[in-house]
């Protein structure tokens, strides 16, 4: 199961998220999302766990305060394709 974890404090580490979720079972992976341009952490990430353990973690951690922020934890939705944005050149 792929779990979305949002509203993570910007100074939180991948190890802290892994440790938080390992209370509920084996964590396959943790991926913290960084901004493409700046490389700075964007405040959300994804955790991979088995379905049963993942559901338990979601129930236990959603809307709890961790590292100074109220986490949003739910099953990740499949990413949908977004239409390509039109690029405009405003130079004369």
CATH of the domain at 28: 3.30.70.330
**Within-domain flag for 51:** yes
Q: Is residue 90 part of a domain?
A: no
Residue 59 resides in a domain = yes
Domain count, the chain: 1
| 33 in a structural domain | yes
How far is residue 82 CA from its own chain's centroid? 19
Say what the pLDDT of residue 21 is: 97
Does 91 reside within a domain?
Answer: no
The reported pTM is 0.83
Instruction: Look up the domain containing 9 and give its range.
Output: 2-75
Q: Is residue 85 part of a domain?
A: no
Residue 80 pLDDT level (bands cut at 50, 70, 90):
confident
Distance of alpha carbon 68 from alpha carbon 9, whole angstroms: 7
pLDDT of residue 5 exceeding 70: yes
């Amino acid at each position: 199961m792929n779990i979305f974890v949002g509203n993570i404090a910007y100074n939180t580490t991948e190890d802290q998220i892994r440790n938080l979720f390992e209370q509920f079972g084996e964590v396959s992976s943790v991926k913290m999302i960084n901004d493409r341009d700046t490389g700075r952490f964007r405040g959300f990430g994804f955790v991979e766990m088995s379905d049963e353990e993942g559901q338990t973690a979601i129930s236990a951690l959603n809307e709890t305060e961790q590292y100074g922020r109220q986490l949003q934890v739910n099953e990740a939705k499949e990413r949908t394709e977004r239409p390509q944005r039109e690029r405009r050149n405003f130079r004369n």
